[in-house]
Chains A and B, each alone.
Chain A
Amino acid sequence: MIFLTNLINGLSLGSVYAIIALGYTMVYGISKMLNFAHGDVIMVGAYISFCGTSYLGLPAWVSVVLAMAVCTALGIIIEGLAYRPLRGTGSLAVLITAIGVSYFLQNAALLIWGSAPKVFTSVFSGMGSSIRLFDGGLTVTWEAVFTLLIAILIMILMTMFTTRTKMGKAMRAVSEDNGAARLMGINVNSTISMTFAIGSALAAVAGVLLCSAYPALMPTTGAMPGIKAFTAAVFGGIGSIPGAMLGGILIGVIEVFGRAYISTELSDTIVFGVLIIVLLVKPTGLLGKKITEKV
């Protein structure tokens, strides 16, 4: 029973990581940059949703949509102002800029919302209390159920989007070969903007889900989940959508199991240790493509 509880907790945490990792992976795939500000977009999404419900009295779903809209705009603005001027100058320069953006978002949030943590009201609080099974031996929260379902839904939608739609195909083309895509008449700039928009909208969803399950909301809320999700994206093979999903869920499960069965002190060590071992065996992640350098 404890095992099942832990498994469900792990799946739920992993699903949040998976959604964040999806955003990471898409942005990486198309712009080959590690967007360290992604975690902070999550935080902004959660704050917007919090403001929507707490200050404006909006229904939960409206505030989520609002958060997605704001984050989408934020993603496009960040890409346009901070990353676009550095496109094609090597990933390190953009990496540092992304860190600058991350500092900026955290400190801006600090000024706007203060450092006192806010308690996020779960968007599923209207569903009533959690599901109790086996005479209360096993409790499953609605957050856990929905987080997992939403993560799967998002993955399916994203896979369909990238394989079926024109925009999605354009994204894949750009991530494959930026220059060739341009020659084929694809508007690379708008495609990359679109990717950031989608990634940021996903981040907003992830922020809401994250804070629904773990309700303390502060300006640094997104930082650690951001790093974990980045780990998850690499774990699954960065650039691969199913890989991000798999990596996210595995990292979540390993983290919770490590904490429950091995050592709470070293749970991060276990997560990162597993990552290292996997990468040594499979240097491009679980579902990553093997890259062969042409000579």
Chain B
Amino acid sequence: MKFKFKFNPNKKRYREDLVQGPIYDTYENYDESKPSIDYAVLPEREKETAPILETRGVGIDFGGLTAVDEFTITVGPTEIAGIIGPNGAGKTTIFNLLTKVYQPTRGTFFFDGQDTRGLNTTKMSELGVARTFQNIRLFDKLTVEENVKAAMHREINYGLLSGLIHGPKYRRQEKEAHEKALQLLSIFDMQDMANYRAGSLPYGAQRRLEIVRALATEPKLLLLDEPAAGMNPSETAELMNNIRKIRDTFRIAIILIEHDMSLVMNVCEDIAVLNFGRVIAKGTPKEIQSNPAVIEAYLGKKKEAK
């Protein structure tokens, strides 16, 4: 099945009125006066294009405790990147920083060429960052279809009055949204579940629905937090295919956090390894697999275990 959605080329890449910090058109225009630590780090597949995401020395403290520090990566516009690391390494915190659930204590990051200082979660979503959650956060009491439609609120934009009287604009947009929602659901073959309550879905379906919902916001960068958690091997394999399929059809960048090494090593083009809030290694799956620092982080200092 082919997906027919494309991003509207007339749509601005960002909204100037939302930007509070300085605007950089491209990353060449970044303020170079501040020496940055080792940037443009992940080997880019698409070196000639501007990255969708570039973080610069991002760090956050919680009550004096440094959770993430000097986090610096770049992600290309159609790249699948992975972040791995032991439990408590700060992976989810990074997602929370990228979606501005937390504001970074230090450093900043550029999304689609725009400095994100002072933006909040809602605005990050408007810029084009979408995510799923490690502990599933669906709208449990809404139906599957509504979960997806709720995320399409930028295309469905009739006003309150139209919503009240269910006028022609309402009917047209709702019809379009309905069709689009079903098509999005069909990525994971979930269109038959459209009228079930999201909370009543089986676990795996809930995870998939979260991805669909994130896609419905028309993101440029999709953050998947442990998408394969709780899935069996065959489901994981299917998910792997789907992640690639999503990237190829929507032409967006994906960052995923995952413990399932087979998934990460198979699907990711670049990987950053995190330990105690710091990036300890970056590279292609092959490079990471043989990196001694990574092995140490995962298996401990004593080599006997190997």
Contact = CB atoms under 8 A, between A and B. Distances in A.
- To the question of whether A and B form a pair in one complex, the answer is yes
B143 interface: no
Interface size class of B (residues with CB under 8 A): under 10
Contacts of B101: 295
Contacts of B133: 295
B96 interface: yes
Contacts of A295: 92, 96, 101, 133
Nearest to A294: B135
A295 B97 CA distance: 11
A295 B96 CA distance: 8
Interface in A275-295: 295
A295 B225 CA distance: 11
A206 B133 CA distance: 48
A77 to B, nearest CB: 35
Chain A at the B interface: SS class? loop
Contacts of B92: 295
Interface string B166-191: 00000000000000000000000000
A295 B134 CA distance: 8
A294 to B, nearest CB: 8
Nearest to B133: A295
A295 B92 CA distance: 8
Interface in B190-229: none
A295 B60 CA distance: 15
A295 B98 CA distance: 13
Interface string A205-230: 00000000000000000000000000
A150 to B, nearest CB: 37
Interface string B76-115: 0000000000000000100010000100000000000000
Interface in A237-295: 295
Nearest to B131: A295
Nearest to B93: A295
A265 B237 CA distance: 71
A49 B288 CA distance: 76
Nearest to B134: A295
B139 to A, nearest CB: 16
A90 to B, nearest CB: 13
A7 B133 CA distance: 53
Nearest to B225: A295
Interface string B38-78: 00000000000000000000000000000000000000000
A295 B101 CA distance: 8
A295 B133 CA distance: 8
4 contacts: A295-B92, A295-B96, A295-B101, A295-B133
Interface of A: 295
* Interchain residue pairs A-B with the least CB separation, the first 4: A295-B101, A295-B96, A295-B92, A295-B133
